[in-house]
Structure 1
Amino acid sequence: MRFVSHLSANGAVGPVNGAGATARRPYHRHMTRPILLLMLWWWLPTVGWAQARPDGLVDVCPVRAAESVPPAQFDRPDCERLPLYRVDPQGRHLWLRMQLQPEAPESTDYLGLLIAAKASSELYIGGELVGRNGLPGADARSEIAGRMDVVLPLDRARLRAADHAIVLRMSSQQGWLQLVGPIHAIELVGSPDVQNQTLRYYLPSLLPLGVFLLAAFYFGSLMLRSERKLAPALLTALALLAALQLLLEVSRGVLAYAYPMHDLRLLGILGCAGAFGLGLVALLTHLYAPRRLAPALVLAALAMATVLALTGAMDSRTALMLLIGSLFALAAALLGVRRGARGARAYVAGLALFALADVVDPSGFIDYGFYWL
């Protein structure tokens, strides 16, 4: 298991510089470049979390009533052998047994077990409890929620004596979502501070975050000084949504939150993606097909609602929110090209690339959408 470090108009603006009507210039020329820059920053890659899949299999058994120590054998009829990415502790109380081989078995350096999972857990080596993250339980009342990401220290000699076999007791009885992949990583690491490890990867994202905030300030000030306020207001909202989604992504490397909070984080990211998609639809339809603004928003919202009803994976939902928004916005930009509107071709190219990247690699598009590495 690996820890992988798993977003131009037909009219004219009013006085924006105090010069009155003589300062007016075509709106599309004034706004096209910053909008495309905003979309580019949304697109830039960065380090994120990704679900890694182990080469070996994991033995999984349900925890029986009053069973306080790991079973001696994992060959009971109710046990099974699964790849780790298919193990689901949500609403369950499980024993997991796996083999973990250090890269340098004779080293005396620090050795820890990284557990990145939506679950509480206990670590057993040789049948003895050696570490705990929260308290696993058979139900929500008996469980104490552990942290989403934790490193438990390991004794190398004890691990060797157990032939590098460990057993985890896990449960996930709290939360709001049923995730497709609740276990993100279980692996040996050489540092005890998982938050510092993660945060190092997220630090470069401060630059695009600053760009989003500057864009929000710029478009917000333009909105206050312009006669036509809708387009700059939408651009301000898009910049703020991008910044908020970035902050939600980075929060995993900054805050050592309990695993139920992970659901709220994912819902926040999904909400930002959906709002950003609708914002794109509103902006491009306002610019190139203003009479169709309301129908376009209603249709886009219905398409997003359908996706939410038919799709379970949060990454897929988030990617589809952005894809739907970009496709509706692309349709509006194509209407602008058909009518010969200035700037429409640039939007068509940018939105087509945006949608294509989403289709080709939805997971990568979401993971790397906001950050800059």
Structure 2
Amino acid sequence: MSPFDTLAKAPTLFDAAHIVRICEPLDMQEGVPDFDGPGCRDLPIYQVNPQHTYLWLRLTFDRSSHWQRLTPPYGVFVLGKAASRVYLNGQLLGNNGTPAADKQEVPGTMDTVFYLPEVLLKDTGNEMILELSAQHSLMELGYPLHFIGFGHYHDPRLIVQQYRGLGLTLTGAFLLGALYFFTASFGRLGHRHQKLFGAMCLIAALQLLTEMSRGLVPYTYPWHDVRLVTVTILSLLFGMSVLVYSSYKTMAGHALHWIYGSLLVTVTAVLLAPGFDSKTTAGVFFPLLVSLIQLLIVWRRQRQKARLGWFLVQLLVVITIVANQASFHEIIHFLIIAMLLMYLFVQQAKEYRLQQQQSKNDQQLIAKLEYKLAQNSQSDTPVRLEVSSAGKTLWVPVSDILYCKAAGDYVELHLIEQGEKLYSGSLKQLEDQLPNTFIRVHRSFLVNLEQVVALSGKTVSEAGGYHLQLTDGQAIPVSRRLMPTVRSSLKQESAAVLMCTQ
């Protein structure tokens, strides 16, 4: 299918099969040829190819009912790889670049429009002549001329890019996604999957921006070849990014073999594909197809609903690619890509949340076990704390300590039925020596959790309204800042006691 059938959206008098007369001058003659000499022939308009050559093109037409669909002012649109000069009924309308038979040509912009004065039009027998050349083409395209025709005079880029607003919105969404995932990947909870998601978003944004560049920025036709190559490479990179993610999620130790093999197949398919639309399609199609095979293999082994859902979503994407090859690289391509990325993001977020919950549960279990071990150790081999009193050195079992209170350069040790003792040192030093059954509940207090009977919200001190009730009836203030830690420790202590009774 030629671009005449898919690109042109404005009313036109020339379809892809419109027969035109072309001449390729055999010498350096100047001026318009008579179109009857050697080197002249008739061709359908979509077969006109000015690449690496210099030619003249003549079209004849009548001012028929088609013109009723047009509103003045009128314009002649020439979209394609060529420098051009346009005449209507013997009058020069203008030029885009400077056509020439050699490299002296000045390349024209890819898409241009020439103002068409209505007074030049006749009811019948109109003749339009175009002088064309594309001596600076970097590569051969199958259909270098995309559209020649008439329409309401307006920016020609609107013909090739009708979904500019939606495209820019999607580009912004992809870029925000890339920024989020790359930022998250360098955080404490960073993961290589986040880097892959960031790469997918960035590649999708760059590909969409490159696709839209023809409708955003005027450029000379040699850059069109660069644009097409860039789009193809980005399409391949996106497809391989999805495959890399799929391989590590499904194939584990064999992931690299799948990635290398798929890359070889995809690159071969891209090189052998006949046109750039086909090359761009192959770049994303084959990696997604291999990923489908991986998902099917894993689902048959594990029968996981998540894998089946992923398979069905990606199958829909592949079917869409096959069914819409001609127009797939318009906005529909990126809507489908956005849908696939969104699905993968959601699934990864669910897995990440489950992993975090499992990790939290594991940490809680570890904390309970550590606390229980500390209790057992304290019971089997009571830990003693060295203190000095009245010139004597005493060893106080830590199990006899109710709580510790900072008092200048000393710490008051409040004991069960034994009054107080002074410890020479800071509360921080004492905290490092005591077992896990003691926790900091306030900047001035350490409490033995085994002596706690209640957590109350009644106002007792400057601690903000919370205090711990001990076995001897004393109330110890709890800092609001440390309240979550205290609650967690009390739960762990309770769980440890429960484990012990069981």
Please classify the TM superposition score into its range, dividing by the shorter chain length: 0.7 to 0.9
Match of 2:53 in 1: 92
Q: 1:358 to 1:307 in 2, by over 3 A?
A: same
Kindly indicate whether the alpha-carbon contact (under 8 Å) linking 2:82 and 2:132 is maintained by their aligned counterparts in 1: yes
Match of 1:58 in 2: 20
Match among 177, 180, 184 for residue 218 of structure 1: 180
Match of 1:153 in 2: 115
In 2, the alpha carbon distance for the partners of 1:326 and 1:61 equals: 46
**Are 2:102 and 1:139 equivalent residues in the alignment?**
yes
Q: Which has the larger radius of gyration?
A: 2
In 1, the alpha carbon distance for the partners of 2:322 and 2:199 equals: 25
Using the TM superposition, give the Cα deviation of residue 101 of structure 1 relative to its aligned residue in structure 2, in angstroms: 4.7
Instruction: Classify the secondary structure of the residue corresponding to 2:93.
Output: strand
In 1, the alpha carbon distance for the partners of 2:311 and 2:3 equals: 39
Match of 2:253 in 1: 291
1:115-264 to 2 correspondences below 5 Å: 115-140=78-103, 142-160=104-122, 163-195=125-157, 201-225=163-187, 229-264=191-226
Instruction: Classify the secondary structure of the residue corresponding to 2:334.
Output: coil
Using the TM superposition, give the Cα deviation of residue 55 of structure 1 relative to its aligned residue in structure 2, in angstroms: 4.2
Once structures 1 and 2 are overlaid, which stretch shifts more, 101-110 or 358-367?
101-110
Q: 1:127 to 1:284 in 2, by over 3 A?
A: same
Kindly indicate whether the alpha-carbon contact (under 8 Å) linking 1:205 and 1:371 is maintained by their aligned counterparts in 2: no
Kindly indicate whether the alpha-carbon contact (under 8 Å) linking 2:271 and 2:279 is maintained by their aligned counterparts in 1: no
**Are 2:74 and 1:111 equivalent residues in the alignment?**
yes
Q: 1:180 to 1:87 in 2, by over 3 A?
A: same
In 2, the alpha carbon distance for the partners of 1:70 and 1:176 equals: 28
Using the TM superposition, give the Cα deviation of residue 161 of structure 1 relative to its aligned residue in structure 2, in angstroms: 8.0
Using the TM superposition, give the Cα deviation of residue 197 of structure 1 relative to its aligned residue in structure 2, in angstroms: 5.7
Amino acid at match of 2:50: P
Match among 308, 319, 325 for residue 345 of structure 1: 308
Using the TM superposition, give the Cα deviation of residue 308 of structure 1 relative to its aligned residue in structure 2, in angstroms: 3.2
Using the TM superposition, give the Cα deviation of residue 111 of structure 1 relative to its aligned residue in structure 2, in angstroms: 1.1
Using the TM superposition, give the Cα deviation of residue 276 of structure 1 relative to its aligned residue in structure 2, in angstroms: 0.5
Kindly indicate whether the alpha-carbon contact (under 8 Å) linking 1:180 and 1:313 is maintained by their aligned counterparts in 2: yes
**Are 2:31 and 1:69 equivalent residues in the alignment?**
yes
Amino acid at match of 2:28: A
Kindly indicate whether the alpha-carbon contact (under 8 Å) linking 1:284 and 1:329 is maintained by their aligned counterparts in 2: yes
TM-score w.r.t. the length of structure 2 is: 0.60
Amino acid at match of 2:198: T
Once structures 1 and 2 are overlaid, which stretch shifts more, 352-361 or 109-118?
352-361
Kindly indicate whether the alpha-carbon contact (under 8 Å) linking 2:71 and 2:152 is maintained by their aligned counterparts in 1: no
In 1, the alpha carbon distance for the partners of 2:61 and 2:17 equals: 11
Between the aligned residues of both structures, percent identity stands at: 29
* Bigger strand fraction: 2
Match of 1:82 in 2: 43
Kindly indicate whether the alpha-carbon contact (under 8 Å) linking 1:152 and 1:192 is maintained by their aligned counterparts in 2: no
In 1, the alpha carbon distance for the partners of 2:321 and 2:183 equals: 32
Amino acid at match of 2:87: Y
Q: 1:292 to 1:164 in 2, by over 3 A?
A: farther
Q: 1:306 to 1:137 in 2, by over 3 A?
A: same
CA deviation vs aligned residue, 1:245-266 (integer Å, no higher than 9, x gap): 1111111111111111111111
Using the TM superposition, give the Cα deviation of residue 207 of structure 1 relative to its aligned residue in structure 2, in angstroms: 2.4
Q: 1:2 to 1:235 in 2, by over 3 A?
A: closer
Using the TM superposition, give the Cα deviation of residue 361 of structure 1 relative to its aligned residue in structure 2, in angstroms: 2.2
Instruction: Classify the secondary structure of the residue corresponding to 2:186.
Output: helix
Once structures 1 and 2 are overlaid, which stretch shifts more, 100-109 or 363-372?
100-109
Match of 2:414 in 1: none
Task: State the aligned residue count.
Answer: 326
In 1, the alpha carbon distance for the partners of 2:69 and 2:144 equals: 33
Kindly indicate whether the alpha-carbon contact (under 8 Å) linking 2:109 and 2:221 is maintained by their aligned counterparts in 1: yes
Q: 1:225 to 1:187 in 2, by over 3 A?
A: same
Match of 1:305 in 2: 267
Using the TM superposition, give the Cα deviation of residue 199 of structure 1 relative to its aligned residue in structure 2, in angstroms: 5.5
Amino acid at match of 2:334: F
What is the alpha-carbon root mean square deviation over aligned residues?
2.7
Instruction: Classify the secondary structure of the residue corresponding to 2:277.
Output: helix
